[in-house]
Amino acid sequence: MAIVNKISKPNRAVTFSLIAVILLIALFDQWVVQSSLFQENEQALTIGIALDFTVALPLLLYFAIYRRISKKIVAVIPFMLLGLAALHFYLPASSHDLLTILKFVIIPLELLLLSYSFYKLTAAYRAARRNLPNGVHPLEALKKSIRTSISNQKIAAFLQHECSMIYYAFLSWGKKPYQEPGTSAYSYHKESGWFIAVLAFSKILLFEGIIIHILVMNWSHPAAWLLSVGNLYFIILLISDYRAMKLNPAIVSERGLVLRYGVQLAAELAWSNIASIEAVPYKAPDKQQMKASFIPIGFEGNVLIRLKQKTRVVKIFGVTQEVEQLYLFIDQPHPFVKQCSEHVKPASQQG
């Protein structure tokens, strides 16, 4: 839908016509695969169908849409890889050997695209970091470069999350916790038990994942590898979340609260918008409150922050949500609440 919205109304007919053509080609190829004609000419028709999925359809996408919004032709390479993956489910098992030649062409192209994108991203990061004011969080340079280079906010937010995850999981070792000068920092990773939980979940995903991989491989090799890649992703996610917790304590400043709660939350709360902060025994909110609450994954909160007005925060995977209360776990909740209370004015003193 994001692509459709970027195209002017007169050109939307082209977009929907393209969708109709893609469906027509897919249905025609499906009819061919199930016909006796395919059995008699399997090799030639397999190559033809493979070219439809990996060349013809991506090129149609480029000329009908991507070229109109000034996208380069390399932007359709991921769709070529997606088409190649779809062929494993689309074609009968007897035809899979004929797809090998396509793998040796498309996968290197995809790797080349990823390498080029990584080079451009790191170059933008270095340029943004040189111009970043002192005292600003190191990852802000990377996030700024993503925001300026990608117009779609949802895609930009997701990429920011993924890049942050890679940074904390692989590049943050040896770094010191981040804290702006003149502020107070409160940790939340030491007493939560999240480190033990990360080790336990990682062990389950790794060792039990190997067993499941072997079992699923008897049914489908692509599904088994997809499952294993997913397990590896979540292990990296858990590690990055704990590393981000360790390096980003809750910051109390004169302006308000700065919360980079692992990779689960990014929020800046002005004191003027905070109604109350209190240390509380955790009590799960009801379904209605859940829609406007942030609750950390993995452990129960011991501090409750209520807001005067709903505020949009960034959660895991770059998803945004409007919240009116936040549950946090803080290693030393009472000193944290005491200092914050000095900045929060009771409602009777407002105005």
3-state secondary structure of 164: helix
Q: What is the residue extent of each domain of the chain?
A: 2-114, 185-247, 250-349
Burial class from Cβ neighbours inside 10 Å (0-12, 13-18, 19+) for residue 303 reads: buried
CA distance 316 to 199: 20
Residue of 87 and 124 predicted with greater confidence: 87
Provide the pLDDT for residue 341: 92
Angle at CA 248, nearest 5°, toward 243 and 249? 120
pLDDT digits (tens, 9 = 90+) for 139-167: 777 777 777 766 677 777 888 888 889 88
* Ramachandran assignment for 262, one of left (phi > 0), alpha (psi -120 to 50 degrees), beta (any other): left
Residue of 7 and 143 predicted with greater confidence: 143
Provide the pLDDT for residue 217: 84
Task: Examine the pLDDT at 311 and tell me if it is beyond 80.
Answer: yes
Mean pLDDT of 129-147: 68
Task: Examine the pLDDT at 4 and tell me if it is beyond 50.
Answer: no
Q: What share of the chain is helix, strand, coil (3-state, %, to 5)?
A: 65, 15, 25
Hey, what are 292's tokens?
A: 């406007």
3-state secondary structure of 308: strand
CA distance 20 to 234: 37
Phi and psi at residue 302, to the nearest 5°: -125, 5
Confidence of residue 128 (pLDDT cuts 50, 70, 90): low
Mean pLDDT of 82-94: 77
Provide the pLDDT for residue 146: 74
Q: Please indicate, yes or no, whether the overall pTM of this predicted structure exceeds 0.75.
A: no
CA distance 157 to 164: 11
Mean pLDDT of 285-295: 85
Which of 31-40, 125-134, 149-158, 182-191 shows the highest mean pLDDT? 182-191
**Residue 306 near residue 276, CB atoms below 8 Å:** yes
Mean pLDDT of 328-334: 94
Mean pLDDT of 207-215: 85
Provide the pLDDT for residue 104: 67
Task: Examine the pLDDT at 300 and tell me if it is beyond 80.
Answer: yes
CA distance 58 to 77: 8
Residue of 154 and 2 predicted with greater confidence: 154
Provide the pLDDT for residue 237: 94
pLDDT digits (tens, 9 = 90+) for 237-247: 999 999 999 99
- In sequence order, which residues have a C-beta less than 8 Å from that of residue 284 and are 6 or more positions away? 295
Widest distance between CA atoms in the chain: 85
pLDDT digits (tens, 9 = 90+) for 312-324: 999 998 899 999 9
Hey, what are 66's tokens?
A: 């991507």
Which of 167-181, 264-278, 290-304 shows the highest mean pLDDT? 264-278
Task: Examine the pLDDT at 218 and tell me if it is beyond 80.
Answer: yes
For the ranges 5-9, 42-46, 330-334, the lowest mean pLDDT is seen at 5-9
Mean pLDDT (the chain, rounded)? 81
Confidence of residue 136 (pLDDT cuts 50, 70, 90): low
Provide the pLDDT for residue 139: 77
CA distance 245 to 262: 4
Provide the pLDDT for residue 6: 44
Angle at CA 256, nearest 5°, toward 260 and 328? 45
The helix (H) or strand (E) run that includes residue 267 is strand 265-270
